[in-house]
Structure 1
């Protein structure tokens, strides 16, 4: 492995349906590792051969039929570390690997939480908060260099959404979600790499709804996708980028890829 490591994360919203833009991104950006969320396929129908052709011969998959699913594909050796059931119902929402340099890489797809921010009226919202509580317990016990990436489905800062006031009662930016995510961050002193390189209140979105006729013109974005690092790992980060043009590619995901480059 070279002294530079480039890791990408992308909620692809069906890897088989969007393989064409995944291939384009990999050719243009050439990350060493790509973490995918919402692959929406069982492992047997994951497009493994297409990734192999591009040099991503190391693949750790955790899929399920039609929904959820996570995967890590890599040009460098990775070995499976864990598949944690933070949802407590068997959904494929996490996979963790270790690299030869000792880095632990965790790929997570946090539940969206439904539409109503009330666990009594909307059990999905309660499941999301409980998912995060389990992640908090896990984070408190971490003792190795770790990078946590994925779709957290929460935009924590006021500047992480297009309108703080209008989204205060909208799932993904409610005070209880922001508070819970804050406790998760504090549980391991996680460093938010996105905001390390693009400090608030600078605009930094990773998701735009399909509902907008022209997503770029309305620009009602949210920063739902994150990379958090242990302090020792964050110190090795040299660059972080969001790839906004991908949102305009053919058959796009509603999320865009985020990439951090490290020098070990």
Structure 2
């Protein structure tokens, strides 16, 4: 929550928050049917590699449905939130965690047309206010609709100047088209690229980080929005783009 407040104060568009479940007292009084809207995202505050993210796209009576149509029951939601609070998905070995409940982003149709299900996003590595490298991340059926490379998602290198995808890979396999939709990835121009670069460059300073990975999604109504700022982003982006991070830092004058 503190990071979101800092982003808003820094003039950075970011996603909203429905609730934060951060302890067992809040957990005991958590009633999904009373709090959750028709569509939502639940994720751990200290999560890593996409673990612990649960998404619902619609409501089905007292339950909800994933993008695949699979039903999520009220008890499943409560158990999932309990596992998050217990720290089962924490990426930093913490003994406990907090569950962030947010409105589900409705993807920009131009961007979303490349995938079968789920929400594509952009990861931008920044040093200070300088974007250094960028990649798009696309969900697949294998990744269960999550844009996470470790679960079968696609990483695609994006040219910083133009916003055009120049290389893509799924796992160790270099690809040119999305495996589920057949849509061509290479040569695709990311929508609203100037805005993506602008909010990426503002995000690190807004939350007090000199080096970070900024994750950005395209909402159909709000445009590019920051969903997360990572203090320790993974370096898989180097394998995706076939570019070295140190070289990019030198180019930007950001190696001291």
- TM above 0.5, yes or no, is no
- Compare CA radii of gyration and give the structure with the larger one: 2
